[in-house]
Structure 1
Amino acid sequence: MKDDFISWPDNQRKNVIRAGFYEKAGFPNVVGCIDGTHIRITGPSIDERSICRFTNISARWPGSAHDSHVFRTSAIGQHLENGYRGIGQGVLLGDSGYPCRQFLLTPYRQPAAGRGQARFNRRHCSTRSTIERTFGIWKKRFHILGSEIRMKPDKACRIIIACGILHNIAIMRNEPEVAEEQLIDNQPQMPPYNGPQDGKGIRDHFATTFFA
């Protein structure tokens, strides 16, 4: 059932997601936020690795793996690396542990004065807090994720994915007060961008266009 309930959004769903994120903190064109979270399991007796894949969950790596490596090797990381066609498709927000890429915007480490970079960082932080709150709700809903999974790693991975599926189902069944179809997308139009096709260039485009 994973692919039925945990999947990358289509274009229609992306428009709803963009509107929701813009409503939260005024950061335009965001289709998701990314981060890693640790879930305790009983250590394997040998060097076991098993793979099972929220829009996307990758539960294949031990806690020592760096978030950027987990993302780069995930299904969605590979999809964006090989199939991203520009900012019109939307961007993800990640913390400074990730590299700034054209499809993954990170905060400025030392924001320059007067160029919108500090405001970019504040809006970025406020928007990206969504993923931290989601992890908190997820772990409270399924207590096993906040304690320790005392099973072999391959079964622990399946449990984590199952909890992700059930979390998404729970959200789907909790009807919002305003139907998604009625959500007004009042974010500004994304202007054309013809600069360098890399994360830093696109991040500068966002900062100077929307936050200066």
Structure 2
Amino acid sequence: MKKKYKKYKELLSSTGISVDPITSEIDASESWWKDRSPSSGGNNSWGQTVNGQWGQQPRAPQWGTPPSSHQWGTPPAAQQWGTPPAAQQWGAPPSMQQWGTPPTSHQWGTPPTSNQWGTTSNAQQWSSPSVAPKDHDACLQLLRMSLDCFRTLCHQLEATYGLQPTLNVSIEESVAMFLRICGHNEVQRDVGLRFGRTQETVKRKFFEVLKATELLACDYIHTPTRQELHRIPERLMDGKYWPFFSGFVGAMDGVHVCAKVKPELQGMYWNRHDRTSFNIMAICDINMLFTYVWNGAPESCHDTSVLTMAQNYDPEFPLPPPDKYYVVDSGYPNKQGFLAPYRSSRNMVVRYHMSQFENAPPPRNKQEFFNRWHASLRSVIERTFGVWKKKWRILCDFPRYNIEVQKRVVLATMGLHNFIRISNFVDDDFAEIMGQTHIGNTEAEIDTNEMKTPDIANGDLMNNIREQIANLL
């Protein structure tokens, strides 16, 4: 405290100012203020306070001089930091021999052309004349018919049955999507991804082509008239069955097609394979062409019941003349117009199916001899069903449509079957099935054991015809 007061007294004496004890304000003379006012132009006008309080403008000696290079030191030379590494230290970039040369087109292979892969969003290229011949096999695999047959089908559906293209979807693409669904039982979503279309577009085009194909089936599934049934098929006359089966006009049998049924109706359509299906009765001629179809009886109905329904409710059922007949298996009655095989009795077992004669003793009597020839002739309906189901997987795989749509699909695919057959285009499915001598009908064997159909009215006429043929053989 004394030191501060002593310093205070020294400032008063050296500056010539004093402090008013009453107001505690600085008291100085007029000459002192005049010397330090800004208007005086003096060098001491940097501040209006005394030099001891505010101080004077700083000078260089007060701040000190900037350090020289000797004080900061010199920057390090290259020898101190070291020289950057040479290329030999880092290593040179690898040469072509080290990395290897890029593969040539012969090593990787050339990219596939559009003809090899095909396009998915436009089926026009499938039917263009520039398609290579090897694409006929691809078309047969993808669309279940040859390329020429596919072109002809598209032209027929457009020119005769009212199928029209739209702004973005051609006739060929619409038919191709329909054939993919029927031929491979693909879901509409997958077909849309394949063709670059929405599922709604695929569904709409499916039903458009289905409607046109039904109209085609009405023309190509030709039910013979009574006058036409009197004619003798040329192929029958040229084969081994002439003149024994001179009254043959076709083969008839039933087949099961899977369907999606409402839960409350599944009991009627449930089959022995634990699936829902419906029973179809069809007739075909010796050329493997469908000539009649009764579409959609419940699976629980026996073949005889389906035949009775067809005769009673369909006025166009092609009943043969008295001297003509359809060959049928033992699930049908041996009555006028229907020639059935000999059946086993309590006293004698009579073989019928072709599989029973393979790797087995020859026929032991005229009944078995007749049955073997009868089964061989009747196998035409089994071969027809075989190629039909093999070509259109929608009929035997998991059902994706309700029973009403599935019935329409049955008729449409039968029409396509006849169209391919009549068109005479090369078809591997038909060629393969024609090379088979017979197809065993295991369903008929089970039906025979489960239900014996008695010979009913007019059975005597067919029994006499059967006896005459057996004696001739």
TM-score bracket, shorter-length normalisation: 0.7 to 0.9
Q: What residue number does 1:203 align with?
A: 463
**Cα distance in 2 for residues equivalent to 1:116 and 1:132:** 24
What amino acid does structure 2 have at the position aligned with 1:29?
A: G
**Cα distance in 2 for residues equivalent to 1:12 and 1:175:** 26
Q: Is the 2:310–2:317 Cα contact (8 Å) retained in structure 1?
A: no
Q: Is the 2:258–2:399 Cα contact (8 Å) retained in structure 1?
A: yes
Deviation at 1:203, TM superposition (A): 3.1
Cα RMSD of the aligned pairs, angstroms, is 3.5
Higher RCO (C-alpha 8 Å, min separation 6): 1
Is structure 2 residue 422 aligned with structure 1 residue 172?
yes
Deviation at 1:14, TM superposition (A): 5.7
**Cα distance in 1 for residues equivalent to 2:221 and 2:306:** 17
**Cα distance in 2 for residues equivalent to 1:8 and 1:24:** 26
More displaced, 149-158 or 3-12? 3-12
Q: What residue number does 1:70 align with?
A: 306
| Uncovered stretches (5+) of structure 1, i.e. residues with no partner | 177-196
**Cα distance in 2 for residues equivalent to 1:85 and 1:14:** 7
| Uncovered stretches (5+) of structure 2, i.e. residues with no partner | 1-214, 269-277, 282-289, 345-349, 351-362, 427-456
What amino acid does structure 1 have at the position aligned with 2:331?
A: G
Correspondences of 1:6-45 after superposition (within 5 Å)? 6-10=221-225, 11-12=227-228, 15=231, 17=233, 19-21=234-236, 23=239, 25-26=241-242, 27-45=245-263
**Cα distance in 1 for residues equivalent to 2:461 and 2:367:** 13
Q: What residue number does 1:150 align with?
A: 400
**Cα distance in 1 for residues equivalent to 2:250 and 2:465:** 19
Q: What residue number does 1:98 align with?
A: 332
TM-score normalised by length of structure 2:
0.35
The count of aligned residue pairs is 187
Equivalent residue of 1:126, what SS? helix
Deviation at 1:60, TM superposition (A): 1.6
Deviation at 1:35, TM superposition (A): 0.7
TM-score normalised by length of structure 1:
0.73
Change (3 A) 1:13 1:37: same
Is structure 2 residue 385 aligned with structure 1 residue 135?
yes
What amino acid does structure 2 have at the position aligned with 1:98?
A: Y
Please point out which of 75, 86, 90 is paired with 2:322.
86
Q: What residue number does 2:369 align with?
A: 119
What amino acid does structure 2 have at the position aligned with 1:71?
A: L
Change (3 A) 1:121 1:209: closer
What amino acid does structure 2 have at the position aligned with 1:201?
A: L
What amino acid does structure 1 have at the position aligned with 2:291?
A: T
Q: What residue number does 1:108 align with?
A: 342
Deviation at 1:205, TM superposition (A): 2.5
Query: Which of these two proteins has the greater Rg computed from alpha carbons?
Result: 2
What amino acid does structure 1 have at the position aligned with 2:420?
A: A
Change (3 A) 1:172 1:62: same
Change (3 A) 1:34 1:136: same
Q: What residue number does 1:184 align with?
A: none
Equivalent residue of 2:464, what SS? helix
Q: Percent identity?
A: 29
Give the ranges of 4+ consecutive aligned residues of structure 1 lying more than 4 Å apart after TM superposition.
Answer: 75-85, 113-116
